[in-house]
Structure 1
Amino acid sequence: MIQNNSAEIANTVAGRVLTINRVFNAPRSVVFKAFTDPKRMLQWLGPRDYPASFVEADVRPGGKWRACLDSAANGEELWHGGIYHEVVPDERLVFTFAWDQEDGKAGRETLVKIDFEDLAGKTKMQFQQSEFDTVENCEGHRQGWNSAFDRLEELLA
């Protein structure tokens, strides 16, 4: 009976946990700073067609972060933010992520975990965001984050 419950739980989560692994050609401290310094984040955060126009971050456990992604094509602003839960310099970030709703309140929250590992002068990043309400939302975030990480890769080159 317990195995059936475990299988049911696994099936409900399938496709709603986003995992992205990347290797950046820069030291861990440089990559970590790109994730924690708002001035650096403005240079890469957001997909190519929705780059960040505003970023603020109080990078400490309990500290808040907030950002806005802007589409020049249609003038749409996408506000989002969250709270840092874990900050281990050059090693790990854990924070919540929620899009603002039309009334300005935070929408459904996901949890982002990012681990940074030294790889002979390069940085291996393991990114996970979970749990999304739908497979489609998870896939949309996969596309968005990968586009942003492409921009980060270019910035670090």
Structure 2
Amino acid sequence: MTHRDLTITRVFDAPRELVFRAWTEPEQLASWLGPEDFAASVAKLDLRAGGAWRARIHSEKHGVARWMQGAYREISPPGRLVFTFSWDDPQDVVGETLVTITLADVGDKTEMTFHQAPFPTEEERAGHHDGWSSTFDDLARYLEEAR
């Protein structure tokens, strides 16, 4: 792996359809999106190829609010979701990345492979790794409650 690519693989104790809906239904996404100490509010999910999405995460503890946005490139339920990702911040150095989520059945569980690229530096990739890893801990808790 180079500093330009981030791949995280997690197995969730939930069916693939539920994991896919957690990514694609606004009220579900808002229930888990964001790293530790962050909460989310989803403003828009236009779930179709070319459709835009936009969400806000915020932390009272850290005094931070950030908007993220992108466009869907591929929606293949319940196994694959591809979308662009960028922060709505003029000082953001990462720019636009492409996120590919692949979901596979592993018995009655789901293996999610999350891939995001390209990153301009190892530091930016590492920061996103930490943020997404924490976010996926929240997703695991959410899926456990949703089952």
Q: Which has the higher strand share?
A: 2
| Counterpart-to-counterpart distance in 2, 1:80 and 1:39 | 16
| Counterpart-to-counterpart distance in 2, 1:63 and 1:17 | 24
For residue 59 of structure 1, what is the amino acid of its counterpart?
Answer: L
Q: Quick check: 1:52 aligned with 2:50?
A: no
Q: Quick check: 1:24 aligned with 2:15?
A: no
For residue 56 of structure 1, what is the amino acid of its counterpart?
Answer: K
Whether the 8 Å CA contact 2:15–2:109 is kept in 1: the answer is yes
SS at match of 1:42: helix
SS at match of 1:66: strand
Match of 2:59 among 66, 71, 88: 71
Q: Which moved more, 1:25-34 or 1:53-62?
A: 53-62
Give the count of matched residue pairs. Answer: 143
Whether the 8 Å CA contact 1:42–1:55 is kept in 2: the answer is no
| Counterpart-to-counterpart distance in 1, 2:51 and 2:140 | 27
Q: Normalising to structure 2: TM-score of the pair?
A: 0.91
Q: Quick check: 1:85 aligned with 2:85?
A: no
Whether the 8 Å CA contact 2:84–2:98 is kept in 1: the answer is yes
| Counterpart-to-counterpart distance in 2, 1:52 and 1:125 | 21
Match of 1:150 among 116, 137, 141: 137
Equivalence for 1:125: 112
| Counterparts in 2 of 1:61 and 1:141: CA distance versus 1, 3 Å | same
The equivalences for 1:82-121 within 5 A come to 82-102=70-90, 108-121=95-108
SS at match of 1:33: helix
Unaligned runs of 5+ in 1: 1-12
SS at match of 1:43: helix
Q: Normalising to structure 1: TM-score of the pair?
A: 0.86
Q: How much does 1:59 deviate?
A: 1.2
User: Cα RMSD between the aligned structures?
Assistant: 1.7
Unaligned runs of 5+ in 2: none
Q: How much does 1:25 deviate?
A: 0.3
Runs (4+) of structure 1 moved beyond 6 Å? none
Equivalence for 1:9: none
Identity rate of aligned residues, in percent?
47
